[in-house]
Structure 1
Amino acid sequence: MPGPHLIPRHAAAQVDAALADTRVVLISGARQSGKSTLVRIVAGDRLAERRDLDRAQDRAAAVTDPVGFVDSTDLLVIDEIQRVPELLLAIKASVDEDPRPGRYLLTGSSRLFGMVAAPDALPGRMETVELWPFSQGELDGEPDGFIDAIFALGPDLRHESIVTRAEYAFRTVRGGLPEATSRNDPRRRQRFLDAYVQALVDRDVRQLSDIQHKGELRRLVRLLAARSSTIIAANSLESALGLSRPTISRYLQALEEIFLVKRIPGWSRNLGTRATAAAKLIFVDPGIAANETAVDARSMLRPGAPFGPLLETFVLSELSRQLTWCEQQAELFHYRDQSKFEVDAVLENRSGQVVGVEVKAASAVGPDDFRGLRRLADRLGDDFIAGVVLYTGTSTLPFGDKLRAMPVSSLWQVAAPSEGGRRVSEWDGRAGR
C-alpha cells in the first residue's frame, strides 16, 4: 500500500476496470505525468513482471528478441512502449493465442496511433487510458465534477468560492506535472520546466520526426506558448521562424504526439464544416506555457500581462483532464463563426447537447461577456444546456436564461450530482504520482 504522500488519481479506477476485461491496456500521457507510479499502484496487487524501455539493456533485448521479450504467463508491464514499437506485433500475436484479459499493461509518452514506426496499434485488443498531469481536484482532494454537474443541472448549478485572483495566477504557473508541483521554490520549478522541455525536444520529438532545425523547433515552442489558447495555422508561423509550412506542420504534429500541446477543433453542427475548421492550440500543462513566456504568478497580475490567455489555457486543460474520467461522454471544441462570435470551449455530448464555456481573467463580468454564448444558444435551441462564463470572482450570478457567471474554481470544487458530493472509487486513496 502506497504511503499517504501519494496523490490519488482518477485514472486508477479506469485502468483497473480495463484490465478486468481487456487484453492490453495502455496508459498514455506526457512524460513525468505519473504513469510509472500509477502502474506500480495498479499492478501492486497482481503477479507481474516489469520491463522499462528507457533502460538500454531492456531496449536491446526487446529489439533482439521481441517474441521472447513479451513472453509472460503473468501480467507484463512495459514502460515507454514507443521506444520499441515493433513489440506491438509480438504482443498482438501473444494475445491472439491467449486472449485472457489483463495480459499486458503498457505506458507510452507518444501517441502510438500517430507514430510512423508503429506497425500495428492493436485494434480491438487494446484500451487506452489517457493520463494528464495532476488536476486541481487531485492536488486539493476535491471532486473534479464540473462537467457531470453542468450537464445534469444546467443553469441550476451554483458555486461560491474564496479563491483569489492571486491564487488562480499561482495555480496556472505551477501547472500539474508532479515534479513541478513538489517544488515550492519558483526558481527550482523554472529549472525543472526548462530542462523538461529541452529533453522533449532533444529526445522524444527526434524519435517521431526528422528534426533538421532543432534551434528553430525550440523557438517554435516558445512562440506557441506566447500564442496559447489561440487559433494556430502553420502559414502564420512561416515568417517568424523562417521554416516552410510543411516543416512547421510536421513539427506541430510531433509536439502534439508527445503530449506537449493539444489542438482543440472548431465546433459546428455540420460535420463537414467541423472537419475543416481551424483548431485552437493549448499547452497540455499551463505551467509550461507560463514558463516559456517567462511569466510568474506575480507578474501575471500586472496590467498588460497575458493573464487572460494563460487562464484560458488553464481552464481548457482542466476540462480536457476531466473529460478523461467523467461519466458524461462529451468532446471539447471551440466556436468561432464568420461574424466573429466566439466561445472558448464547447462541450458536446453524444446526444448533441451542448454546454458553452467562456473564460474571463476578471473579478467582474457584464452582459457583453456573454455575446458568443447567446449566439450559440440561439443556434441550438433546446440542445443548449447552459452557457457559463468562468471568472475570478466569488459568486454565481445569473445573466439571462441558461446563462451564468461562475468562479473558475467550480471546475474542481463542484461535485458530480450522482456521487453525493464526492467522487467515489474503490481506488480512492491508492493511486499516486
Structure 2
Amino acid sequence: MTWIARFYETRIEQMLQPGKVLWLYGSRQVGKTSLLNRVLEGRGKVFRGDGQDMVLNRLLTSLDLTQIQTAFRGYDLVFIDEAQKVEHIGQALKLLIDHEPQLQVVVSGSSSFDLSQKVGDPLTGRQKVFMLFPVSVLELTELWGGIGVMQQLENLLIYGCYPETLTAPNLESKREYLVNLRDAFLLKDILEQERVKSPAKLFDLLRLLAYQIGGEVSLNELSNQLGIAKQTVERYLDLLEKVFIIKKVQGFS
C-alpha cells in the first residue's frame, strides 16, 4: 500500500515526552495507528496494546499499581490503541506515569465519547491532545503535485480523503469502502455507546445532511422531515459529531 506522508509526523515526535501522555484521536481508519507505528520506530523497547484486548483491559481497569508496574516494567514507551475502550483509562495512566516517570505514553482513540472524563480529568497538566484529520490537500500535493490534485478534485470532494479511498483502484472500490466504513465502524460506535431508539432515523438524518453540506441547516426543518422531536435531532447531530461523521460549523454573522 502507498504510504502517504503526513505533515503531523514531526510534530508528534516533538510532543513525546517522558512522564507525559500523548493522546491522539480522530475518526476510525484515518491513519492513526499507521502514523504512530512510523513515529515509534527506533524508540527503544515499545509496548503495543489494544484497549479492546481483554487481558490488557482488565489489567488497566483494575487500577492495581503493582500489576500495572510489573506489566510495563522494562519498556521505554507504552502505546495503547483504542484506549477509550478502557474504563478509567485516565486514572490508570496517571498511576503509571506517577510511579514510572521515565516512561513515554501514547494512547489513541477513535471516538470522543467521554474523552474528557476518561482521560482528561485525571491527567490535567500531564497530557497533550492531538487530533488527526483525514489527508489534507497540502499532503496530497506533496504526493501527486499540484496538477494531480486539481485533476482529482471532483473525486476528492465526492469521496473524501480517507487514506484508503485515496489509494483505492477504482470508484466502485471507493464507494464500497465508504459504505463499509459507515456501517461497520462509525455508526457502530454510536449504537454501542448510546441507546438510539430508531437507527433508521439516524440514517435518514445522514441522507438529509448529505444534501445540505456546506449550507445552512434548520433543526426545525430536519425535525419535521424526519418526524422526530427537535431535541432528538440535536442529540443525533451531537452523536454524529462525536464519532467524526459530521462537523458542525457555526455562523460567523
Same fold (TM over 0.5): yes
For residues 170 and 64 of structure 2, what CA distance do their matches in structure 1 show?
44
Shift of the 125–33 alpha-carbon distance from structure 1 to 2, 3 Å rule, reads: same
Q: Secondary structure at the match of 2:17?
A: helix
Give RMSD over aligned pairs: 2.9
Change (3 A) 1:66 1:142: farther
Please name the residue that 2:14 is paired with: 17
If the length of structure 1 is used for normalisation, what is the TM-score?
0.51
Deviation digits for residues 352-380 of structure 1 (CA, Å, limit 9, x no counterpart):
xxxxxxxxxxxxxxxxxxxxxxxxxxxxx
CA–CA distance in structure 1, aligned partners of residues 147 and 29 of structure 2 = 31
CA distance in 1, matches of 2:104, 2:141: 34
Contact 1:113–1:121 at 8 Å: present in 2 too? no
**2: CA distance, partners of 1:143 / 1:202:** 32
The equivalences for 1:137-156 within 5 A come to 137-141=138-142
Matched, 1:42 2:44: no
Q: Which residue of 1 aligns with 2:163?
A: 178
Match of 1:134 in 2: 135
* 2:223–2:230 Cα contact (<8 Å) kept: yes
Contact 1:85–1:118 (CA under 8 A) maintained in structure 2: no
- What's the counterpart of residue 82 of structure 1? 84
Task: Show CA shifts across 1:18-67 (max 9, x none).
Answer: 10366000111110000001111111111210111244554455445665
AA paired with 2:95? A
Unmatched 5+ stretches in structure 1: 145-160, 267-334, 337-433
Between Structure 1 and Structure 2, the one with more strand by share is: 1
Cα separation, 2, equivalents of 1:142 and 1:81: 31
1:82–1:262 distance in 2 versus 1, CA, 3 Å: same
Give the distance between the partners of 2:208 and 2:229, measured in 1 at CA. Answer: 16
**Secondary structure of 1:189's partner?**
helix
SS of structure 1 residue aligned to 2:248: strand
SS of the aligned residue for 2:168 comes to coil
Superposed, 1:64-143 pairs within 5 Å as 67=65, 68=67, 71-73=71-73, 74=75, 75-100=77-102, 103-111=104-112, 120=121, 122-141=123-142
Name which of structure 1's ranges 69-78 and 104-113 shifts more when overlaid on structure 2.
69-78
CA deviation profile, 1:133-154 (whole Å, cap 9, x unmatched): 111222331699xxxxxxxxxx
Equivalent position to 1:249, from 208, 215, 234 = 234
Tell me the number of residue pairs that the alignment of Structure 1 and Structure 2 aligns. 248
For 1:258, the equivalent position in structure 2 comes to 243
3-state DSSP of counterpart to 1:128: strand
Contact 2:60–2:89 at 8 Å: present in 1 too? yes
> Per the alignment, in what secondary structure is the counterpart of residue 107 of structure 1?
strand
Cα-to-partner distance string for 1:132-191 (whole Å, 9 max, x where unaligned): 1111222331699xxxxxxxxxxxxxxxx7579764212212321111111121111111
Q: 1:222 to 1:124 in 2, by over 3 A?
A: same
Shift of 1:92: 1.6
Contact between 1:201 and 1:218, CA under 8 Å: does it hold in 2? Answer: no
Q: TM-score, normalised by structure 2?
A: 0.84
Distance in 2 (CA, whole Å) between partners of 1:187 and 1:113 is: 36
Could you tell me how far apart the structure 2 residues matched to 1:134 and 1:122 are?
29
| Counterparts in 2 of 1:82 and 1:186: CA distance versus 1, 3 Å | same
Check the 8 A contact 1:86/1:119 in 2, yes or no. Answer: no
Structure 1's 84 and 164: CA in aligned 2 closer, same or farther, altered over 3 A? closer
In structure 1, what residue type is equivalent to 2:134?
Answer: P
Per the alignment, residue 23 of structure 2 pairs with: 26
- Classify 1:221/1:40 alpha carbon distance in 2 versus 1 (closer, same or farther; 3 Å): same
Identity of aligned residues (%): 25
Instruction: Determine helix, strand or coil for the equivalent of 1:263.
Output: coil
- Please report how far the alpha carbon of residue 79 of structure 1 lies from its aligned counterpart in structure 2 after TM superposition: 0.2
In structure 2, stretches of 5+ residues that fail to align are none
Which AA in structure 1 matches 2:184? A
